[in-house]
Structures are given as structure tokens and as C-alpha cells.
């Protein structure tokens, strides 16, 4: 293990390290392994089940996290390497954004499955609106990361500009995610209370009974996993806003345990919750796993969305 593995609060490290500590080696390795496993699983899921949207979303997010934590491991070996620092901060800020896109797509598919009439928006508009917001947030964060990474080591003005642009992207993402969570919560409340938001041809007793038969244990577990994943990413976004708002020399950004728990661990929980309760098995699969899933035999399992 490198002699630089232990974070320290000494004045020398605070002044000389861009982190204000030395990233712990074994922590970086653990996260690289964890993200590597889930990234590989998303790649296999996308190819095996032909869920191609998972490649530019969940798989890309995992790959970005691996690269970001590899940058932290690199920093452990060479704490003054500015490229390593900018690699980790840019990748760990941007990487969860594609995973949010996967959540938006999956929720739209889930609302199609359970009944579009319970949503304030139709499934296709959930995807269109929030995927657009996600792309905008990604573009802003990427621009900020590019500005910061292109700055010279002693060019604090340009580095701060990049940080502020990334902060704007995360704030925008946080607001969009908060609105999405409110709309999703309203959808499930209306579904559970059987109070459709609007009338559709399916709002009759027979059609409603048919749709509600699809509220199987698999879909309950998948819905809970999706909600948990979204919540952890929301917590992580709040942390990153507070962190970047404090500037490069703030107490939050200079405390390693905050980053490990409120960023790394939150993203791990988000990705693994949907790795275990995989949409290929719990949402799109046509094979019933028990009596409660008998209605799945008749369900349309394609990822296409109902307008």
C-alpha cells in the first residue's frame, strides 16, 4: 500500500493537495471493483436482452465512475498530478447523469405497464422532458469540466469558472430530478388510490382490473428499487451542490469521508439496487415467476412507450 494512502489534516497536505487530503488507496480500489462489476453486468444485460438504451445510460455511467475512481487512485500515487485530479472530479460529477436517463426511461416504461392515465404526463412525455433536462445538465457539467481541466495548474480563475459552470449544471439537474420525483410520487399515489389523472379508453372497470393485476410482486420490488435509486442520486446531487458551492478550498470538498459516503456510496447504492432488481427480469421479462405473476403472460414487454 502506498505511503500516501492515509488522509491527513496537516497544513502541508491541506496546502499542497488539490483535494486537501490524500485519497485513500484501498477505498479507491473498492469503488473501482464495485463499479466495474455493476458496469459489466449492465453491458451483459443490454446485449443479452437487447435493451440497447442501457448502453448509453447505465453502462456509460458505470464506466465513467470507474474512470473517476481510477483518477483518485492515480492521485494517491501522485498527489500533485493535476490531470488525475481533474479526471476524477469531472468523471464523478458527470457519470451519474446517464444513469438518471435510464431511470427516466424505466419509469416511463413502468407507467405504461401500470396505466398511463395515473400520470400527469403521458409516458412518452416523461421520457422526452426529463431526458432533455438530463442532456442539458450533462452538457453544462461537461462544459464546466472541460473549462476546469484545460486551466493551467496556477490558473485559479479559470478553474473557478469551470467549477461554477459544473455547479450550475448540478443545480439544474437537482431541480429537474426534484420535479421528476414529485411527479413520480403523484403517479404512484394515484395508482395506489385508483384515482386516474385523466380519462382514457382504458378507464373502465374491466380495463382497470386488468391493469392492476399487473401490480405483481416483481413490479412492486422494481418500483421500490427505482424509488430508492432515485433517492440516493438526489442525496448525492444535494451533496455535490453544497460541495462545489463551498469552492475548491471549502471544508466539505476537503473532507474525504463526505465524498466517499455521500457521492461514491450513494451512486453504488443507486446502481446496485437496479442491478439486483434488474429491469430485464423485473420489468421487461415475459416469464412469470409465480402465481402472482400470471398476468405477465399477457403483458406487452417491449421497451416501446405508449403515447
pLDDT tens per residue across span 43-54 = 999 999 999 999
**Which percentage of the chain shows pLDDT scores above 70?**
82
Q: In this structure, what C-alpha cell is assigned to residue 283? A: 420489468
C-alpha span between 137 and 116 (Å, rounded): 27
C-alpha span between 139 and 96 (Å, rounded): 13
- Residue 140 has a CB neighbour count (10 Å cut-off) of 21
Contact 150, 82 (CB under 8 A): no
Query: Which residue ranges make up each domain of the chain?
Result: 11-298
pLDDT, greater one: 14 or 211 = 14
Q: Whose CA is closest to 95, among 49, 57, 44, 136?
A: 57
Q: Say if residue 84's pLDDT is above 70.
A: yes
Rounded to 10 deg, the angle between the 82-94 and 123-150 helix axes is 170
CATH of 11-298 given 1.10.10, 1.20.1070, 1.10.3470, 1.20.140: 1.20.1070
**Which percentage of the chain shows pLDDT scores above 90?**
62
Lowest mean pLDDT among 58-72, 161-175, 224-238, 291-305: 291-305
Residue 82: pLDDT band by 50, 70, 90 thresholds? Answer: confident
pLDDT, greater one: 15 or 206 = 15
H or E segment at 231? helix 217-245
Give the per-residue pLDDT at 284: 85
Residue 163: pLDDT band by 50, 70, 90 thresholds? Answer: confident
Give the per-residue pLDDT at 153: 64
Contact 288, 294 (CB under 8 A): yes
pLDDT, greater one: 208 or 33 = 33
Q: Say if residue 211's pLDDT is above 70.
A: no
Q: Say if residue 291's pLDDT is above 50.
A: no
Phi, psi of 23 (to 5 degrees): -55, 135
Contact 70, 40 (CB under 8 A): no
pLDDT, greater one: 177 or 86 = 177
Give the per-residue pLDDT at 146: 84
Q: Say if residue 285's pLDDT is above 80.
A: no
Residue 289: pLDDT band by 50, 70, 90 thresholds? Answer: very low
Contacts of 287 (CB under 8 A, 6+ apart): 296
Amino acid at each position: 500500500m502506498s505511503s500516501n494512502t492515509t488522509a491527513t489534516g496537516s497544513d502541508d497536505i491541506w496546502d499542497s493537495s488539490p483535494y486537501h487530503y490524500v485519497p485513500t488507496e484501498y477505498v479507491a480500489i473498492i469503488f473501482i471493483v464495485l463499479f466495474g462489476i455493476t458496469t459489466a453486468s449492465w453491458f451483459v444485460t443490454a446485449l443479452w436482452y437487447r435493451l440497447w438504451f442501457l448502453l448509453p445510460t447505465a453502462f456509460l455511467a458505470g464506466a465513467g465512475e470507474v474512470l473517476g475512481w481510477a483518477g483518485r487512485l492515480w492521485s494517491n500515487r501522485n498527489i500533485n498530478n493535476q490531470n488525475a485530479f481533474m479526471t476524477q472530479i469531472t468523471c464523478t460529477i458527470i457519470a451519474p447523469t446517464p444513469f438518471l436517463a435510464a431511470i427516466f426511461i424505466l419509469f416511463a416504461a413502468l407507467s405504461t405497464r401500470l396505466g398511463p392515465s395515473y400520470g400527469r404526463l403521458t409516458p412518452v412525455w416523461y421520457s422526452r422532458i426529463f431526458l432533455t433536462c438530463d442532456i442539458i445538465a450533462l452538457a453544462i457539467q461537461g462544459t464546466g469540466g472541460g473549462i476546469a481541466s484545460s486551466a493551467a495548474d496556477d490558473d485559479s480563475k479559470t478553474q473557478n469558472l469551470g467549477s461554477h459552470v459544473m455547479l450550475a449544471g448540478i443545480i439544474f439537474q437537482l431541480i429537474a430530478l426534484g420535479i421528476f420525483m414529485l411527479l413520480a410520487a403523484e403517479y404512484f399515489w394515484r395508482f395506489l388510490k385508483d384515482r386516474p389523472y385523466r380519462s382514457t379508453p382504458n378507464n373502465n372497470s374491466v380495463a382497470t382490473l386488468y391493469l392492476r393485476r399487473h401490480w405483481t410482486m416483481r413490479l412492486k420490488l422494481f418500483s421500490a428499487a427505482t424509488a430508492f435509486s432515485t433517492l440516493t442520486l438526489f442525496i448525492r446531487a444535494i451533496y455535490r451542490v453544497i460541495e462545489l458551492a463551498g469552492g475548491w478550498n471549502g471544508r466539505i470538498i476537503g473532507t474525504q469521508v463526505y465524498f466517499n459516503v455521500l457521492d461514491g456510496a450513494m451512486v453504488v447504492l443507486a446502481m446496485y439496487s437496479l442491478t439486483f432488481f434488474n429491469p430485464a427480469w423485473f420489468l421487461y421479462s415475459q416469464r412469470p415467476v409465480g402465481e402472482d405473476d400470471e398476468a405477465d403472460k399477457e403483458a406487452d414487454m417491449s421497451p416501446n412507450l405508449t403515447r
